[in-house]
A = this chain, B = another copy of it.
Amino acid sequence: MGKTQMVQSKVTGGFWGKIQKKIAGETLYQQYEILNGKKEGLRPEQYSSCILNFEIAAGKKDETYKGYVYSDSELAKWMEAAAYSLRNEPDERLEKMMDDLVGLISDAQMEDGYVNTYFQVLRPQSRLKHFAFSCELYNMGHLMEAAVAYYEATGKRRFLDVMCRTGDLLCRLMEQEGYCHVYDGHPEIELGLCRLFQATGERRYLILAKHFIDERGEQPCFFLTEELLGDNDEGANDKWFGADHHLAHMPVRQQEKADGHAVKAVYLYSAVAELVKEGQDEDGTLERAMLRVWKNMTEKRMYVTGAIGQQGYGERFTTDYDLPSDRGYLESCASIGICFWAKRLLALYQDPRYADVMERALYNSVLAGWSLDGRGYFYTNTLHYKRGVTDYREDCKHMENGRQRWFRCACCPPNIMRLITDIQNYALTVVRDTIFFQLYMQGQWKIRTGETIVTVTTNTDYPFDGVVRIHLSTERYPAKARIALRIPEWCKIYGISVDGKRSRNLNISKHGYVILDVELLQDRTIILDMEMEARYVFVNEKVWDCAGKAALVRGPIVYCLEAFDQEEGGLDGIRFSLNSGITIIEGEGILEGAKLLETQGDRIKSSLEGKLYADKPAEAEKCRIRAIPYYTWQNRGETDMDVWLPYRE
């Protein structure tokens, strides 16, 4: 067989089909309006000037820059999402909006290829002088990713050429005395450069990406030699937070743990994975560091929802097993970054454990960041919410009271879009002659294998149902296809049939995929039936916050309790009874399509008559417990919420 590769992919319906349709038909337009200065329905501190800033930089408007130093990246992420959406489903109006924006960015770009509206408009004299918090290269990296995505979606080169000029500027600059040790405090340029290389074949971009990773963390940290931008309306920070906040406390190749700012960490290591894949890790030290950090993050510093970043101060990782449910930062972007990283790990190593983590983050912490009506967002994703407490607790002040239409720093809303509009490319990994199924969703993928093209079509109600129908066809019979099916960590019982015949003596790969070598004499239908039972999950006893508690899960979905779904008393004193059966019920209203869980637990009766402490355990009485998917919380108003509850066996 010759080289096997993906030639086309799309979502055709089901869970993600609905969401991609909503994004294409509504959300992208809604977000564009806001990025273009729309005010209706927003509080003044939520107004965005992202597009206006480019108009000012291009000399088309004479106004003052508004927004933070990283505002350019918000438009860039939106453009990347729009590009994927156009690839999925043509839309003349959207494409026209994109072409206009590309023209605007091109007009804003300086002679030498530099483009960054904050410095061009507000601080031209400070250009390329502040790397710790300026997000200057970070913004450029996002624009590069968007440019590549738009080129791949439409074949139009203009945006790509614009960003190549920027890439070339950086290549020239970094060879100069005084610049050869800099890198951006917020990783992202590395990812942009890798994609620029993959789209153009120009190795200098790859080499520059490697240069930034090699320089990162060399001591003494060069950030200490530069003057901080200063805390100001543009959001640059006058707190240094320490070199580890920037993943610059030691060379990347030596790093052992998931440290520092959570989003910076996962963006950095996603780029590291690219370098490893592109053969830029001669001695394997980058690969080993990446795998050490992944292991530490997933085994000691990750929430059950796939959220990371245990502390609001510094938006960062803290230490092993410190996983407070009530005040973690747990930024949506950080869990999105886990998906970026995991996707690249799956391309490197076909190991289903990376897909388990990706799925956990995707269906829980990522989706929770976007409201079901499509118009509201969470920036942070707590596992415990008590009404009113956030008004008092400084360590919870990063939490929003209620979903927000937009943010002064709006990194998350367009980031969610660029992940979901491309989600079908997280589903399958094609390596050599094998088609690995990593995420199950309804879609169609065309894969060139040998002399022909195999079309893989799936049908499923995943993540709420465990049955996946996989239809295989080809242009030219006979053909062969090697299929590797991931059996998720959560799945204990499953069955597989091919054309109705139950497969026995399954061939299981070293990492646990079920390998099927399919002779395509005609179309074939594979059915994977994963038993998806509701069950409880428990935490490692070293995690003080929720040791002795349990959480409800079903398939990849983590559940939570909202107070107004419970009987009188809300969440106070409520506990699981592990031996009660769990029944599955259909969500209604805004929860329609989601499966809810009901079980009988018990509740400590308020027997203390208003006293704070008592000398006997309060009696418990039986009560009904209703749980909803965590990602659907606070879509019906504001109420107390918990993921972890104490339990009785």
Contacts and interface: CB of A to CB of B under 8 A. Distances in A.
B300 A547 contact: no
A542 B608 CA distance: 10
Contact of A612 (B394, B543, B575, B647): B543
Contact of A395 (B394, B535, B548): B394
Contact of A646 (B300, B614, B646): B646
Interface in A294-321: 298-300, 302, 304, 311-314, 318-319
Contacts of A586: none
A540 B395 contact: no
Contacts of A393: 311, 318, 322
A62 to B, nearest CB: 38
B550 A573 contact: no
A510 interface: no
Nearest to A642: B544
A315 to B, nearest CB: 11
A544 B536 CA distance: 20
Interface in A532-573: 535-544, 547-548, 550, 572-573
Given A541-B606, A547-B604, A618-B538, A313 B395 contact: yes
A384 B544 CA distance: 10
A327 interface: yes
Contact of A578 (B299, B322, B543, B617): B617
Contacts of A391: 319
A604 B384 CA distance: 24
Given A547-B646, A548-B575, A311 B541 contact: no
Contact of A394 (B313, B547, B606): B313
A42 interface: no
Contacts of A617: 536, 538, 550, 578, 647, 649
A314 B392 CA distance: 10
A44 to B, nearest CB: 23
A389 interface: yes
B299 A548 contact: no
A326 interface: yes
A100 B536 CA distance: 70
Interface in A268-303: 298-300, 302
A43 B472 CA distance: 74
Contact of A604 (B324, B537, B541, B606): B541
A542 B572 contact: yes
A490 interface: yes
A159 B395 CA distance: 45
A589 interface: no
Contact of A322 (B392, B540, B603): B392
Contacts of A96: none
Contacts of A93: none
A322 B389 contact: yes
A299 B647 CA distance: 26
Given A538-B614, A613-B539, A544 B318 contact: no
Q: Which of A384, A393, A542, A613 has the most chain B CB within a 10 Å cutoff?
A: A613
28 contacts: A299-B610, A299-B611, A300-B612, A311-B392, A312-B394, A322-B386, A322-B393, A324-B326, A327-B395, A384-B544, A538-B613, A538-B617, A540-B608, A540-B612, A541-B572, A541-B604, A541-B606, A542-B572, A542-B573, A547-B572, A547-B573, A547-B604, A548-B548, A548-B573, A578-B617, A617-B647, A617-B649, A646-B646
10 A-B pairs with the lowest CB-CB distances in the bound complex, closest first:
A541-B573, A313-B394, A395-B395, A548-B646, A318-B392, A541-B604, A319-B392, A541-B572, A540-B608, A542-B572
